[in-house]
Amino acid sequence: MKQITILILILSFFVKVQKVNNVTITYTIKQKTIDLTKIKEKAKTSATAQELIWLYEDANDVEATLKFTENESIYNVIKKLKNDAEKKVNLTYHYAGSKNTYYSDKKELIRTSSVTGEMLRIVERKNEWVLTKETKKIGQFKCYKAIRKNSKSSYNVIAWYAPELPFPFGPREFNGLPGIILELEFKNYIFFANKVDLNDLEFVPIEKPSEGEKITYEDWKKRTKNFFYD
């Protein structure tokens, strides 16, 4: 009887996973509350510090989508029509991924970028995660905490992933966990999954980026001198 019960549980889980296909997750990306006291003090004598305050204060929430199948995913920030009068830089938009496309399959993760003036396809580095036993509920999913430690920076990336959605995808270049990332803390920004459509009827087939020269992350880093990225 015990073996039959286990078999039923396994089959039930298998069927549940099989039904999850052509998924679209919508994230809201928000800037954390930032203490600007020290920067404001510097702004009294520094124009650069004053500009930094303006950037933080002018930041607005943005949305992005992660679309995935069993084998591949694609992530993009949702483009919104801008008023010609509004030409301010939105830091949240930048850290959400800006106009880049992030494509992932079981072999590699590719980010498109035109920051150098030409379209490039950058093969991102693999993430190294430390899995913890800490959990919390996000929507209907039980999520586990994982930490990506960065030895070259003063910050860590914190991800909350859902094993019930056993696919190694997430926002931006953050992937490689045993479940979809539903919440992410990256520098001064938080990515929240506010909508999970497990069977998106309007799902458009994913296309792997093919435009532009394909280079390694290390080569891209040399070309851009690590501008805005870790």
Domain that holds residue 159: 22-83+110-203+211-224
Is position 66 within any domain? Answer: yes
Instruction: Give every CB contact of residue 145 below 8 A, 6+ residues apart in sequence.
Output: 132, 134, 135, 136, 158, 159, 160
Of 208, 209, 179, 176, the closest CA to residue 196 belongs to: 179
Is position 189 within any domain? Answer: yes
Type of residue found at 89? V
What pLDDT does residue 71 have?
93
CB atoms within 10 A of CB 126: 12
Is position 30 within any domain? Answer: yes
Torsion, CA 54, CA 157, CA 209, CA 73, rounded to 10: -120
Is position 186 within any domain? Answer: yes
Residue 189: strand pairing partners = 31, 186
Of 153, 152, 135, the closest CA to residue 144 belongs to: 135
What pLDDT does residue 19 have?
63
Tens digit of pLDDT at every position of the chain (230 positions): 444 434 333 333 433 444 678 999 999 999 887 766 666 666 666 766 666 666 767 778 999 999 999 999 999 999 875 554 455 788 899 899 999 999 999 889 999 998 878 899 999 999 999 999 999 999 999 999 999 987 566 678 999 999 999 999 999 999 999 999 999 999 889 999 999 999 999 999 999 999 999 999 999 888 887 555 44
Q: How far apart are CA 98 and CA 157, in angstroms?
A: 19
Is position 102 within any domain? Answer: no
Is position 38 within any domain? Answer: yes
Tokens of 45: 């004598």
Q: How many domains does the chain have?
A: 1
Is position 6 within any domain? Answer: no
Torsion, CA 188, CA 46, CA 230, CA 128, rounded to 10: -40
Is position 95 within any domain? Answer: no
